[in-house]
Structure 1
Amino acid sequence: MATLTEPGGDAFVPIRCRTWAVESVDTEVLRPNAEGRLLVLATADGWPRAVVDVRAGSAEQAEELVRAAVTASTVRPPSGFVAGGAARTPVSVVVCTLGREPRLVDTVAALLGQTHAELELVVVDNDPASGRVPALLAGLDDPRLRVIDEPRRGLSAARNAGLAAVRHQVVAFTDDDAVPAADWVAALASVFDADPAVECVTGLVLPTEVATRAQLFFEEAGGFDKGLSAVHWHRDGAGTLLGTAPGLEGLAFPFDGGFGSGNNMAFRVAGLRARGGFDEALGAGSPTRGGEDLDAFQSVYLAGGTLVYWPAALVRHHHRSDHDGLVDQLHGYGVGMAAVVTKRFFSSPATAAGVLRRLPGGLRLLLDARSAKNEGKSAQFPADATRAERRGYLIGPAAYLRARRGLRRAGAAR
């Protein structure tokens, strides 16, 4: 694997990211890079058991390390998991795009190659005047694929257009820079199959590659990974028919990002529509830069619904590859997170009181170098990226109020 020279003459050897089942006899995928490094998601009996940062001199040594990590892992599938089970629930998948991401083609191919039989794919063109999406998808002729236009810019507006268009009772969302595993939809559908009380399912998100130092730093900042244990959240402490464990409730719960991420999420359509879909004052393309997915998760939880995090549903994601992209992304996350908290604060007196109670813990999580949020950062992690995220938290409240005013003015003008 080639060594990349980054700005400033800094060399970085790209790190392969692989999924490997311990039952497999194919160890070639475990060959490390020139520095002996490899990132492996190891599975056993169909369930993810360990994420291993391998340091080895050969594929054979890497195999030994991965097998040892799986043996030592305490992760076990929940009682409701059936390896290779056929899911019945039909699923619609929505991907929103401006057509600027050429890897949309790979995303669509991965979705049309899913093992799940009952599937439709809705691609929402959020910049139809550009003509980029039809050009990218030219030549694709699959009856399961529809492209619809949503000229109103913004990820939430595009997702709402997709939500309005879907034909099945469960809708899943991923992004145009993500590559779902072949059984992603089946894994999500199996949760809805097993428990009719589940309203929302999120899944495991790992990098497609770590080809630059910026992508490595994004993982150090927490990435999208929420762990390998299947868990659930419900306000009344109710369990699920899947045998999942109660999910972690951290210092800022439920006003944090612990439920999952928007590039790997699914909802029952009726419930999501009843809750108004995605808040168009939030999300990429709005002043708030993000947070529409966190808001949707929190809305399910606060309304008394059940959310499940199911790591068997795997999506690989292409992280921003350069330093400026990393800084911008973390800044946007800060703005979006603070915007969602602001929305919650103004939603009701009881919720405002909950926000205030959790504010000290949230600040500790954000600012303390030893907190769960920051402890993974190496000494080389760029300080300007951390500062950019914290600045985002400071401007998020005003960004949300500005976005709300903009929506009201747009509504009055129509």
Structure 2
Amino acid sequence: MERLITARGEKTPMGKNCRPCISGKFIIVNGQKFYIKGVTYGTFRPDENGQQYPPPDTVEKDFSMMAEMGINAVRTYTVPPLYMLDLASRFGLKLMIGLPWEQHITFLDDKERIAGIMDRVREGVRSCRQHEAILCFAIGNEIPSPIVRWYGPEAIQRFIRRLYQVVKEEDPRALVTYVNYPTTEYLRLDFLDFDCFNVYLETEEKLKRYLFRLHNLSGNRPLVLAEIGLDSLRNGPEKQADVLNWQVRNIFSGGCAGTFVFAWTDEWWRGGLDIEDWDFGLVTRDRQPKPALSAVAKVFAEAPFQGEAELPLISVVVCTYNGSPTIRDTLNGLMTLDYPNFEVIVVSDGSTDGVESIIREYPFRLIVTANRGLSSARNTGMYASQGEIVAYIDDDAYPDPQWLKYLAYAFMHSDHAGIGGPNIAPEGDGSIAACVANAPGGPVHVLTTDEIAEHIPGCNMAFRRSALLEIGGCDPLFRSAGDDVDLCWRIQYSGKTIGFHPGAMVWHHRRNSVKMYWKQQKGYGKAEALLELKWPEKYNNLGHLSWAGHIYGNGLTLPLTFRKDKIFHGTWGAALFQSVYQQASPFVSMVLLMPEWYLVIFFLAMISALSIFWNSLLYAVPLLVASVLPVLFQAGRSAAKAYKDRRFASVSEYLKAWALTTILHMIQPVARLYGRIQHGLTPWRKRCSGKPWLHMILRKSDIQQLWHEKWRSSEDWLTLVEQDLLDKKVRIRRSGQFDEWDLQASCGLFAGGRGMLVIEEHGQGKQMLKFKTWAHLNTFGLVIVSVLLILSVLAYFDRQFITMAIFYAISMLIIVQYIIDAAMAMSELTESFSQLAHLEKERQLAETRELPVIPNVILVNAKQKRNKIFRELEEKTSLTQLVEAGE
């Protein structure tokens, strides 16, 4: 029998009575994606037997009416009697069963109460007897925020985990969730099978934004809205229908696995009273339909999307180089796409493994080229495409059936130039691939907000074709990696934005051997070196890239910090939306995460090795151990977190997975560092074209002057200097609000230069510009020199002359490099300022020949601005020719 592999690694038979399971961002029932189109049911006034449900005939009528209206799921707040489960099965309904307990009081104070809660939860699961109508169990519903604040989130998280484990002990294959709400959204419940939130937002834009936030909190797990609704008593039946219409549409199109509308009927009992001043039901207390029922039924019938008439043509481009081991999965996945208007273009970039014969088995367009690299292949597919949108997927990935629909919806409802989605590692690829999926260095997305992306990985990215053509597609410089990063940055530099849609999901195979993983990470190191050559401003002096946004994905190495995140509770805990605010990690803990930290370990190892000549250097061994232990701790801790909520067949299986993942966490930065150094991205790299002129070395500072007769602001002038430095690959930094300098330039690791501009205003727009530059010494390098000199002195007094000479020579080399680095940086600053005078002469020449004058208006984008100035000059190449001809 064919088997479905779930996201948690459970193999489930795909048949009529298949238990619900999780697959990525969605729930699977009977082998098919199950979108929850549900309503809440209850709570009702208890009868004489204490039963909180209507008589069986009423329940039967309700369930029958629900099924007729396209409802497929019902949420209950208490454990239903067996007859309700049978009726639900009869009408094709799935039940989300609430397991109630006294969560509104300080329940953790009494051990007997805790034991009683566990027993009742256990008994509630047992009473259902693994019924086929069960969708999942909800082990709680909105623990009040004052209770969470009273005990602290960690204690509540541990308790919910215990309830989760109780359910799994009774029914290991049952899905388990907890229904949260915005006031306690900060609870970290990653062990749940999927996330549920009750959300009542009556503004469409606010709901859309909050859905993105909830998706980012849920990660790769499904998100279900367990309650939405509007009171028809206060707002009117028509308003209720209108609000529910856009609420449900946005929930489905936003990538959620479904929703429950609160409630089926206005009949509602709570706290010993019939609630009669709220009417949230789709039907009245006597079961008369409201307009909202028809509105919801219509949306449910179309879910997850509305109509297909105006969907744009999408060109799916698959680039492959010897991808025969995995490309069949890709092509089979493309065959199952649920989208009416798309084409598939497969570009074989000089493959030699017979992959082209596999591609020809499918009704897709094949383009065969010589081996020119990934970027060239992506461009080939782009130029051959006919679609308004070009979607890229790798040859080791395959899409969710609704992948293109989510992308199309996101493009149709935004101005984004590009949109990406999550890529999730499928189970069943082997134990090593599973470990690699939980190791650092995988394809991740970087978000600056809950919706706006700084980077989307190449295995799942789509762009408007016009935006790609405008920037010339991918840069052929990047043959195997880095093309997606460069493409995203260039799109953003052009003034456009990149979005992220959590529903546009693809499955992405991870490397299935340590050797392949090492090769991949080494290649990423090479890509970083190429990116630094093109985007030096993105990298610091050590050669490390710092993203502006937040990185999302599995396998991230946790920093060595024990700081607790702060939770915004509001005054007296009264905030409606209480969120976690992560404190910035200490600088030391962030340095430990950088691949360059391994250079520090190597340096300490070399000093320790010199103890052969001088025994006193054995004191460096504890420092070496101290530098290695944090790396080991971070790797082990990160690996343990990855498997914290995963079930293993045995302890030995867990230990094997943890050990290998720990090793991968340690070798990944080494591989990246090796790739970087191999291709020139080193802390001691030189990116300047300037020369360390003697006068720069001898002077502490240098002042230049420029007379200008057309007024510009200081910001305009500094921006031109800044961009000239960037074009020459100089690493620059703008001053902060408290700095007494304007620009800092760095050409090496140990020293740099700083510049300050002052403008004398002489009236009628005339200005005298003065630019002062001086050397800036790096404290890090000074510390190293000081340590080496001290060691050389100590070695001298201990008569260890060989060791003394080594330390002294290294310190002198660093001092010389200090002087050269400072002089080069100052030279670059002064030369860039001199370019302003050159520009002014060309402007005056242009004016005398009645040619277009370089605009004074400074563009928002610095690079666009300077490039436009020089482009206009280059277009007037006849200027030089005219001058030379004497005209």
| Counterpart selection for 1:325 from 516, 523, 534 | 516
Measure the CA separation in 1 of the matches of 2:24 and 2:348.
Answer: 34
Where is the helix percentage greater, Structure 1 or Structure 2?
A: 2
Task: Answer yes or no: is 1:16 the counterpart of 2:9.
Answer: yes
Residue 61 (structure 1) aligned with residue 158 (structure 2): no
1:8-45, CA deviations, whole angstroms, 9 ceiling, x for partnerless residues? Answer: xxxxxx972799xxxx9842656xxxxxxxx8645585
The separation in 2 between residues aligned to 1:214 and 1:339, in whole angstroms, is 29
- Equivalent residue for 2:394? 175
The answer on whether the counterparts of 1:99 and 1:136 sit within 8 Å (CA) in structure 2 is no
Residue 11 of structure 1 is matched in structure 2 by none
- Against the structure 1 CA distance between its residues 42 and 65, is the aligned structure 2 distance closer, same or farther, given a 3 Å change threshold? farther
Instruction: Give how far 1:135 is off.
Output: 1.4
1:272 to 468, 491, 502: 468
Q: Does 1:70 align with 2:194?
A: yes
Aligned partner of 1:366 in structure 2 is 594
Query: Per-residue CA shift, 1:307-344, capped at 9, x if unaligned?
Result: 11112001101111011111111222222133213311
Change (3 A) 1:206 1:66: farther
Task: Write the distance in 2 (CA, Å) between the matches of 1:232 and 1:117.
Answer: 33
Q: CA deviation at 1:102?
A: 3.3
The 2-side partners of 1:184 and 1:15 are apart by: 21
- AA aligned to 1:323 is V
Q: Which runs of 5+ in 1 are unaligned?
A: 1-13, 31-38, 48-53, 234-244, 249-253, 285-289, 346-351, 402-414
Give the equivalent residue in structure 1 for 2:19.
27
Matches of 2:511 and 2:335, distance apart in 1: 25
1:341 paired residue number: 532
1:119 to 307, 328, 342: 342
- In the other structure, the counterpart of 1:287 is none
Relative distance call for 1:74 and 1:112 in structure 2 (3 A) is same
Question: Which residue number in structure 2 is paired with residue 110 of structure 1?
Answer: 333
Q: Aligned partner of 1:61: which letter?
A: P
Residue 150 and residue 361 in structure 1: after superposition, are their counterparts in 2 closer, same or farther (change >3 A)?
Answer: closer
CA contact (8 A) 2:323 2:396 kept: no
Query: Hey, what's the Cα distance between the residues in 2 that align with 1:323 and 1:60?
Result: 36
Determine if contact 1:342/1:397 at 8 Å carries over to the other structure.
no
Corresponding residue for residue 236 of structure 1:
none
Q: Deviations over 1:146-204 (max 9, x none)?
A: 11122143111111111110011110001111111111111111111112x21000110
Partner of 1:136: 358
Q: CA deviation at 1:65?
A: 3.3
- 1-structure distance, mates of 2:467, 2:475: 15
Pair 1:261-2:457 in alignment: yes
Structure-to-structure mapping, 1:10-409, within 5 angstroms = 16=9, 26-27=18-19, 29=21, 41-42=25-26, 60-65=171-176, 68-71=192-195, 77-78=211-212, 80=250, 82=253, 83-85=303-305, 86=307, 88-127=311-350, 130=352, 132-140=354-362, 142=363, 145-195=364-414, 197-209=415-427, 211-222=429-440, 223-226=442-445, 245=450, 247=452, 259-284=455-480, 290-345=481-536, 352=537, 355-356=539-540, 362=546, 364=591, 365-367=593-595, 376-378=638-640, 380=659, 381-382=662-663, 383-397=666-680
Structure with the larger RCO, 1 or 2 (CA within 8 Å, 6+ apart):
1
Quickly say closer, same or farther: Cα 1:397–1:294, change in 2 above 3 A: farther
Q: How many residue pairs end up in the alignment?
A: 328
Contact 1:17 1:210 in 2 (8 A): no
TM-score norm. by structure 2 comes to 0.33
User: Kindly tell me: are residues 102 and 355 of structure 1, through their superposed partners in 2, closer, same or farther at Cα, counting changes over 3 Å?
Assistant: closer
* Deviation sequence 1:252-311 (CA, Å, 0-9, x none): xx6xxxx22100000011111111111111131xxxxx1001111111122221111112
Which is worse superposed, 155-164 or 332-341?
A: 332-341
For residue 209 of structure 1, report the CA deviation from its aligned partner. Answer: 2.1
Describe the superposition over 1:187-234 as per-residue Cα deviations: whole angstroms up to 9, x where unpaired. 111111112x2100011001122543432332222433549xxx676x
Distance of 2:211 and 2:426 partners within structure 1: 24
* Partner-residue secondary structure (3-state), 1:122: strand
Q: CA deviation at 1:70?
A: 3.0
Partner amino acid for 1:160? N
Q: Secondary structure at the match of 1:280?
A: coil
Secondary structure of the equivalent of 2:339? coil
Bigger radius of gyration, 1 or 2? 2
Query: In structure 1, what is the Cα distance between the partners aligned to 2:681 and 2:675?
Result: 10
Given that 1:18 and 1:41 are in contact with CA atoms closer than 8 Å, whether structure 2 keeps it comes out as no
- Asked whether the 8 Å contact 1:17–1:207 carries over to 2, the reply is no
Amino acid at match of 1:331: K
Task: Report if aligned partners of 1:17, 1:208 keep a CA contact under 8 Å in 2.
Answer: no
Distance 2:24 2:402 in 1: 18
Q: 1:232 and 1:57 mapped to 2: Cα distance?
A: 37
**Residues 18 and 183 (structure 1 numbering): CA distance in 2 closer, same or farther, change over 3 Å?**
farther
Using the aligned pairs only, state the percent identity.
22
Q: Which moved more, 1:274-283 or 1:261-270?
A: 274-283
Alpha carbons 1:27, 1:60 under 8 Å: kept = no
Amino acid at match of 1:116: Y
Aligned Cα RMSD in Å? 3.9
Tell me the CA shift for residue 84 of structure 1. Answer: 1.4
**CA 1:160–1:397 in structure 2 vs 1: closer, same or farther (change >3 Å)?**
farther
1:42 and 1:66 in contact (8 A); partners too? no
Whether the 8 Å contact between 2:338 and 2:402 is mirrored in structure 1 is: yes
Deviation digits for residues 62-118 of structure 1 (CA, Å, limit 9, x no counterpart)? 433356553456996347552511461210000011244232122112112211111
Structure 2: runs of 5+ lacking an equivalent: 1-6, 28-33, 38-163, 179-191, 200-209, 213-246, 254-302, 547-589, 598-629, 641-657, 686-887
- Which one is further off, 83-92 or 304-313? 83-92
Report SS of the residue matched to 2:316: strand
| Partner Cα separation in structure 1 for residue 18 and residue 430 of structure 2 | 27
